[in-house]
Structure 1
């Protein structure tokens, strides 16, 4: 429901989504006000103080790295605002204390930069799994999940179940897939795998051009002065007479079909025609209270969230456990699998650390090593911790993504808009796209570049990426290899015992799982 006349609009929440909406609506003819509960804009994008040996510096709480192909709206906004970005050499390091591995966007570049990794048997296992996923996982995108089985679908179609059924190794899961997804999403993806739909993970890797068989190397860039510089640029020309800081909304009441009255914690009251909720679902429901409809309660209540802890500290287990240099992103794994774990394929506990020195360009010889660690399974010693923040993310389970798919039922109805979005393209791209979409579609705002609306992860009309003849040939060869392995296993059962033992010894290092047969059986059985 778009509008053609001037409206009085309230935006609740001064995070990236709220600021982007406010920026896009500045010249729209609407009377727009922004309400933020804290004393500053940016939400989880903060500028944190860090002190070392008497020297103080500001560091960014959010990673400034983005993938150009996956983040077109962020890239366009940064260009228009004149926010400088520089090319970034993407890599992620995984360590469990005993061993480490490095991976970047290109597998070939990963090997060429560190050829000694080929001396490890585990490397070949992970490489074979990557090749298998790159050429055969596209089949997963062709299956549609029916919402009728929402209560049991998560465990049946989860990444965890798929990897187990398809015969992928735990090393591939813990040292490549989970670290990559963690960096892309800015969270600990390892804990999400048991409830994350496999189609969502595969689609995300395709969006970042990490799984396309024939491709250019994915382009990564870094916001030169940090993610907080984006917030500063968006806020530069805002009318701050209409920005209300330390103004937490206590409740919203509706006393006319087109009038909402906002009441702040300190008792101020203001009337508006439209409200944009740029806060999480729990806060939205608290504000709406009894004024929420049954559909709003069901859909917004289905948007599951997860709490994340971000710790800014001056030392890291990464430096204590390894003499090797760290990467911009460091994924730390628990060294020992818990004894109480009944499932050998259960992901190990993990933490994701950002190397602030690398990302913000802060020399370690002046400020020492600076890290931001998300959800540390082994928290740093309190003596080295300088800041602890908590933020909320959408939890991308099947139920959450299904609720997000149902959001248009209540979106822009009764003069209410909801800024919830998770597409797996990263916090900045999702938040900016959501803010621009609400401003342009709901309130007819115009922005100086084309906005691309990304399809939702569980959308029914998602297309399967096309593949060429050469890729079809490679897939055929892989399937022939599977057939040969099946025949070999059958011969081992039919041959006399001594001969079969010799064959078994010769092939004990071969990946002998019939993956395609198991994957097809798994998908066809569950669908």
Structure 2
């Protein structure tokens, strides 16, 4: 068959690799942009007086347990990989509250010394442990509930998790991982989908976490390796497809320029909304196609490559591979915006001495100094909602209908493994029947039985949570005393002119007042 692939992101490139090298089909690939790869976008970082280097601005990291097929693909192509650290930090309101996780342990958590007096932080740590121990119980409820699935916001309310856990840990992490608007969208995220993702990625455990990897020299190396085997005339860059229609003679693609091409089969490796627009422009969409492709929403995010250190935590001790920057409306609760700065020196082993700080910030919360910007890039990400997750189950009903097929990372969680897996599942089945060099492997982890250590931990946390509720009256009195002492300390510090220390005391007092109100 003559096959056309529309879109050259990970799904399109993966389908191209399999069809071009492991089948008898003739394949062409179309891309709107002037470069192939989609989120696989490696660019040159250049700064006067420093060595230049290649930096990934979209897809950056992977790990063996949750990227099994994509990793075997890279190894088959002999793409070199580096181990990297996946540390993370939270910086709220320009450094008013900061903490860092990872191998630094308590030194990272208490990188801001006043965290030692912050009750919200201790409650957050308590809730992280509780969430890690009990969250998978919700996965065991799947199929036993009638009606709509719980959102993560509803789940947190039902289980009584604290505001610190929500706003200083789970909400920023969810918003940053999926590039989802933080205020409501992250709280509306389907709870079981999020917990399943956390479990698959070993985010619900404190030990035994997998090693993370990056592509040495930039992830575009795998794109270049695939395209090297494709006849140059079969790669069509700067070629937007605006219409897809099924004719008696095949499937017709119409370019933005008006040029028309007919193929035996077309694979739409685009976002769901883009695919739907092309089908509509082609003169008709079936009700089932509308149901499968229509419910999706997409958020557009700006990634900025730069070296402005203001987009990192205020305290160097908190600098990490992933740095979540949150802003809240009242400085105490509610996350209005979430930005994420990738510390590329750490992630891609780029020595700061040679290159200076190399940073990629997603959705900068304030303007970056223009003289420190290397480039700006726009990426769209799927928003995981109740409707979009339900629509995923409808995709098989429209695959290969009208000689049109669909692949994309959006068919699962939205990540590189999902894009590769969707392409591999499609083109190894009829009517393509490609013969890949390795078998497909599921990235889904089976829920493990609770072991003795975990069982003991659950019992301890259940007892601690019960005790916490019973001690609320006493805790309120303790909070009143501490607030009074902090008010006195503020007055003393104001008189002696230690205004910087006083601001920290005011912040801590606010945390205690907030804690008292929530009891």
From 375, 378, 381, the equivalent of 1:387 is: 375
Determine the structure 2 residue equivalent to 1:369.
357
Distance 1:452 1:321 in 2: 43
Distance 2:230 2:183 in 1: 40
Whether contact under 8 Å (1:184, 1:425) holds in the other structure is no
Determine the structure 2 residue equivalent to 1:466.
449
Which 4+ residue blocks in structure 1 deviate beyond 6 angstroms? 145-148, 499-509
Determine the structure 1 residue equivalent to 2:291.
298
Distance 1:361 1:266 in 2: 43
Cα deviation, 1:297-351, whole Å, max 9, x if unaligned, reads 22211122221111222213245833446222111111x4348xxxx75324220
Q: Secondary structure at the match of 1:399?
A: helix
The answer to whether the aligner puts 1:226 opposite 2:215 as a matched pair is no
Determine the structure 1 residue equivalent to 2:334.
346
The answer to whether the aligner puts 1:37 opposite 2:60 as a matched pair is no
The answer to whether the aligner puts 1:404 opposite 2:400 as a matched pair is no
Distance 2:85 2:49 in 1: 32
Instruction: After TM superposition, give the deviation of residue 48 of structure 1 in Å.
Output: 2.5
Q: How many corresponding residue pairs?
A: 476
Whether contact under 8 Å (2:409, 2:420) holds in the other structure is no
Determine the structure 2 residue equivalent to 1:111.
105
Give 5+ residue unaligned stretches, structure 1. 1-6, 456-461, 493-498, 514-527
Instruction: After TM superposition, give the deviation of residue 91 of structure 1 in Å.
Output: 0.1
Determine the structure 2 residue equivalent to 1:331.
324
TM-score, structure 2 normalization:
0.82
Structure 1 residues 506, 405: closer, same or farther in 2, change over 3 A?
farther
Determine the structure 1 residue equivalent to 2:84.
88
Distance 2:320 2:241 in 1: 42
Instruction: After TM superposition, give the deviation of residue 438 of structure 1 in Å.
Output: 1.8
Instruction: After TM superposition, give the deviation of residue 98 of structure 1 in Å.
Output: 2.3
Instruction: After TM superposition, give the deviation of residue 147 of structure 1 in Å.
Output: 10
From 84, 96, 99, the equivalent of 2:97 is: 99
Determine the structure 2 residue equivalent to 1:286.
277
Determine the structure 2 residue equivalent to 1:141.
139
Q: Secondary structure at the match of 1:25?
A: helix
Whether contact under 8 Å (2:252, 2:261) holds in the other structure is yes
From 70, 80, 89, the equivalent of 1:74 is: 70
Instruction: After TM superposition, give the deviation of residue 389 of structure 1 in Å.
Output: 1.6
Whether contact under 8 Å (2:85, 2:346) holds in the other structure is no
The answer to whether the aligner puts 1:8 opposite 2:2 as a matched pair is yes
Distance 1:502 1:60 in 2: 52
RMSD: 3.3
Distance 1:346 1:502 in 2: 26
Instruction: After TM superposition, give the deviation of residue 381 of structure 1 in Å.
Output: 3.1
From 465, 468, 480, the equivalent of 2:463 is: 480
Distance 1:375 1:53 in 2: 25
TM-score, structure 1 normalization:
0.80
Distance 1:212 1:227 in 2: 28
The answer to whether the aligner puts 1:445 opposite 2:434 as a matched pair is yes
Distance 2:65 2:182 in 1: 21
Distance 1:132 1:50 in 2: 42
Structure 1 stretch 133-142 or stretch 53-62: which is displaced more?
53-62
Give 5+ residue unaligned stretches, structure 2. 484-511
The answer to whether the aligner puts 1:415 opposite 2:406 as a matched pair is no
Distance 1:42 1:223 in 2: 14
From 201, 211, 216, the equivalent of 1:208 is: 201
* Matched ranges for 1:487-526 at <5 A: none
Determine the structure 2 residue equivalent to 1:525.
none
Instruction: After TM superposition, give the deviation of residue 145 of structure 1 in Å.
Output: 6.7
Distance 1:317 1:92 in 2: 17
Q: Secondary structure at the match of 2:188?
A: coil
Structure 1 residues 435, 480: closer, same or farther in 2, change over 3 A?
same
Whether contact under 8 Å (2:99, 2:109) holds in the other structure is no
